[in-house]
Amino acid sequence: MPSPKIICGLAVSLDGYIAAPDGAVDWLNPYSTREVMALMTEFMATIGLMFMGRTTFDHALRLGVGNPAAGPPRAIVLTKRPITGVPDPTSVQTMSGSAKAVAKRLRADAAGLKGKKKDIWCMGGGRVLADFLAAGEIDAIDIGVMPIALGAGIPLFPPGFPRTALKLVRCKPYSNGVIRLKYTVKRPAKSR
């Protein structure tokens, strides 16, 4: 059986931002059509686990999402610090360590899940994506490009992002101007 894949799934503005400078994502609201929600449902049908960086988790709490790590699917926050500000901190699973070590644990956990939901969603943010790509632990990037330019914000690809070769495997436009792009990460050939 193939190993669970780690997929970065995000929405991004046309000019490359995943959030406004203050972390807000309300600019996504006009694009939450039935068509786009079906895309999210399709994506989530394959996801057994998700993980996010501590900054993404804290931003979501400040924006009133409640407990952004409450499943399903089961979610993990990458942090060494205790979780506070949620009604039940024990409902939030945390992990820390190198991207390689965390990916190994996530893949083992996902492999033990029942059913078809085996893949792992890297939901943010840019620094986490960069670390996991640099470690060779991202299998695919699945992004919805929104037809809006923010002019400033939190970039999908922060400065110092590792060079990464990608292969386009899906490109689907939606009637509201959103474009879904899915890429697999090209792995360098292993030397003998």
- What CA–CA distance (Å, rounded) separates 141 from 184? 6
pLDDT at 32: 84
What average pLDDT does the segment 113-129 reach?
85
Residue 21 forms part of a structural domain = yes
Residue 96: which of 77, 109, 111, 112 has the closest Cα?
77
Most confident residue range from 30-39, 93-102, 112-121, 179-188: 93-102
Q: Is residue 169 over pLDDT 90? A: yes
Q: Which is more confident, 71 or 115?
A: 115
In a domain, 154, yes or no: yes
Count structural domains, the chain: 1
In a domain, 60, yes or no: yes
Compute the average pLDDT of residues 152-166: 89
At residue 118, the pLDDT reads 87
What is d(CA 140, CA 44) in angstroms, rounded to the nearest whole number? 14
- Per-residue confidence (pLDDT) for residue 192, from 0 to 100: 45
Does the residue 79 lie in any domain?
Answer: yes
Question: Is residue 151 in some structural domain?
Answer: yes
* Residues β-bridged to residue 186: none
The answer to whether the Cα torsion of 58, 60, 66, 67 is positive or negative is negative
| pLDDT(72) > 80 | no
Under the banding of pLDDT at 50, 70 and 90, the label for residue 170 is very high
Mean pLDDT score, 164-192: 86
Residue 131 sits in a domain of what CATH number?
Answer: 3.40.430.10
* Residue-range definition of the domain harbouring residue 15: 6-185
| Confidence (pLDDT) at 180 | 93
